[in-house]
Amino acid sequence: MGAAFYIAAAIAILSTAMVITRYNIMHALLYLIVSLLSVAVIFYIYGAPFMAALEVIIYAGAIMVLMIFFVMMLNLGQQSAGDERHWLTPRVWIGPALLCLFLLAELVYLIMQPPAPPAGEIVMVDPKAVGKSLFGPYILAVELAGMLLMAGIVGAYHLGRQKKKITHRFLERATQ
């Protein structure tokens, strides 16, 4: 447990705080990428280098890029940011924030509970072991994950298609 962890943790918390307070969605997404990268560093510290790599490639790389493209496609600009500013008044956020703070306090209290785990030695988990168990006991889950991704692709394609706007014929007649 060295300084590296604390620095990375601080960056993660700060950047996530920036994510949840930005009005402009683009800024928020960029801060989220920073946060994800710092979490990747923490993964590395916790002895999961392969996961750290996946976090960078898939999360920070693919998923965030997808979202950024999406935002660009919708062409959300100043107006959206203005809306956000308008919506995010202290009256709105103070209550949920306090509630969540309480929840966090409880969580931390529980995590800190004795019996604490014996002195935390970070154990490196070999990516090979991960691969073996993925394609050993968890093969069924992997298959299911594959199907889920397939369904995600098909679903996204189906939903994302620009369909001709269909109004029900009764409604059409009513509006004429």
Partner 1 sequence: MITSTTAGLVLAGILFTMGLVSMLIRRNLIFMLVSVEVMLNAAGLAFIVAASRWGQPEGQVMFMFILAMAAAEVSVGLALILQLYHQLKTLDSDEASKMNG
Partner 2 sequence: MNWMYLVPAMPFLGALLLVLFSKKIGKTGVSLIGCGSVGIAALVTIVAGLQFMNSGLQQFSLPLWNWLSVGNFNIGITLHLDALSLAFTFVITFVGFLIHVYSTGYMAEDPDFARFFASMNLFVGAMLMLVLADNLLLLYFGWEGVGLCSYLLIGFWYKDPANGAAARKAFIVTRVGDTAMAIALFLLVQHTGSLQLTDILAKAPTLWTTGDATVVTIAFLLLGGAVGKSAQLPLQTWLPDAMAGPTPVSALIHAATMVTAGVYLIARSHVLFTMAPAAQATVAIVGAVTLILAGCSAFVQTDIKRVLAYSTISQIGYMFLALGVGAWSAAIFHFITHAFFKALLFLGAGAVIVALHHEQDMFKMGGLRKSLPGVFWIFLIGSASLAAIPFVTAGFYSKDQIVWLAGASAQGGAGYWIVAVMGAFITAMYTTRMMLLVFYGKEKTHVHHRPGLNMMVPLYVLAVCSTLAGFMELPHTLGHVTLLSDFLQPVLPAVVTEHASTALEWGSQGVATLLCLAGIYIVWRVLPIPFPREVKTFLKNGWGFDAAYNLLFVQPYVLLARLNRKDVVDRLYVGLAAITRYFHRMMSATQSGILRWYIMGIVMGAVVILSVIIWRQYTV
Question: Which of residues 56 and 176 has its CB atom nearest to partner 1 in the complex?
Answer: 56
For residues 78-107, which are near partner 2 according to CB under 8 A? Answer: 96, 99-100, 102-103, 106-107
**CA-CA-CA-CA torsion sign (81, 83, 87, 90):** positive
For residues 17-76, which are near partner 1 according to CB under 8 A? Answer: 17, 19-20, 25, 28-29, 32, 35-36, 39, 42-43, 46-48, 50-51, 54-55, 58-59, 62-63, 66-67, 70-71, 74, 76
What is the phi/psi pair of residue 130, to 5°? -60, -45
Distance from first CA to last CA of the chain, Å, rounded? 71
Q: How many C-beta neighbours within 10 Å does residue 40 have?
A: 23
For residues 107-126, which are near partner 2 according to CB under 8 A? Answer: 107, 109-110, 113
Q: How far is the CB of 100 from partner 2 (least distance, A)?
A: 7
What is the phi/psi pair of residue 161, to 5°? -60, 140
**Which does residue 32 bind out of partner 2, partner 1, none, counting CB within 5 to 8 angstroms by kind?**
partner 1
For residues 101-160, which are near partner 1 according to CB under 8 A? Answer: 101, 103-104, 107-108, 111-112, 114, 116-117, 119-126, 129-130, 132-134, 138, 141, 145-146, 148-149, 151-153, 155-160
Q: Which residues form the interface with partner 2 (CB under 8 A)?
A: 96, 99-100, 102-103, 106-107, 109-110, 113
